[in-house]
Structure 1
Amino acid sequence: MAQLATPPARTGLLVIQPLKRRRCAGCQAGPLQMLVLEDGAPRCLDCADLGHLVFLPRGDTALTRRSREESALSAVVVRFNRRKSRYERQGVLVEEAGLARAEQRCLADAEARRRRRVRDAGRRAREDARLAEAFAAEIRRLFPGCPEARARDIAAHASARGSGRVGRSAAGRALSEGAVISAVVASVRHLDTQYDQLLMSGVPRHEARRRIAVAVERTLRTWREEEVAGVG
């Protein structure tokens, strides 16, 4: 039998959702939807004395936290992500009575938590707007010839929350010159050159960048030199 990938060490009990069909090394039940590794051997939840617990999928942080608080016994459920080569949390196993008590607690303060979420969303939106505005202003300072609407579009794209783009990096939030220039270059590359068409035709990324480098630099130079022309 192929060995299961060893999950990372965690505090508390750990349950695995296997990717392959597994049978319990004790009672031979299977295929198992969830299992516990004991000395490298898979055990079903009943053999691991966890069969009375119920599964709560991830997604509701407050309910998960309170369910674990209300349960004398609980376990974290994970599944291996082949693409990322790591285990990822899927939810928790908790006592049914503990889950019921946690649901009652969440219902009791649901309105307060909803209002807090609305306030937090508003605060984040204001922070995002300020960052995008400052980013656009820095683009215009470095590239005075860049059209104002284009600068705003570049800033909004680069600083979108959760995007992982340069504007959300530490350097981007600090408005470092390198981060701002990177965002502008990326925009020019995709919107003002044949870069995307080259990629779609099968040209390797580095070769595609080499081919459009002159066009990118030409646009950047034009946007930079507008300041000189204006001063003259």
Structure 2
Amino acid sequence: MAKTNDLAVFITTRTASCNECGEDLGRRAWITLTEDRDAFCLACADLDHLAFLPVGDAALTRRSRKHSTLMAVVLQWSRARKRYERQGLLVEEAALTQAEQECLADADARARQRERAAGRRAELDEQYVARFAQKVRKMVPNCPPQREMLIAEHACRKYSGRVGRSAAAKQLDGNAIQLAVIAHIRHAETAYDNLLVQGVERYEAREQVRENVAQVLAQWRGV
């Protein structure tokens, strides 16, 4: 959506000339129009330093708008639709460069997320995780929806040394599964991680949240 104070640049369908410098601009010239319908080339309109960003990339357009102090909407008359249609934006070169860098960073971040997700899936024995999750849900039927899958996936990473990979857990031992549930509660439902960040020793931090963990575990068990 164009801002109300956006300048407009028109791509002509007929030959045009600049009312200020007198240059013959030919057809498909890029001009601005005054209220009196006088045409000015981009140089005379002080817009020739702007870079053209075609329509099509919403994120790049949004960010370019954000960073560009001066901009103009580029419009062209559609004979078929009998209206002006947006072709893109003229924005400051520095703004476009910054917007491109931000979009590239996002694309790289998304690619890294996909790689990490693929790696996590490769580490998991899906059937084992499903069985582990079923046991978790049976043990703590009142835990939040889908939480059993989080606990199972976290506990069952191959080669991780987490409790879910122990021999007892591989046999779906109740005590090992309870340890996985407690570990999840400690991290997700208490201030345990914040205590560690503050420099509290691990065993002391566990002691501080022990009662909180027990309360949450009892709630999830429904007792």
TM range (shorter): 0.3 to 0.5
More strand by share: 2
Q: TM-score, normalised by structure 2?
A: 0.45
- State which structure, 1 or 2, has the greater radius of gyration over its C-alpha atoms: 2
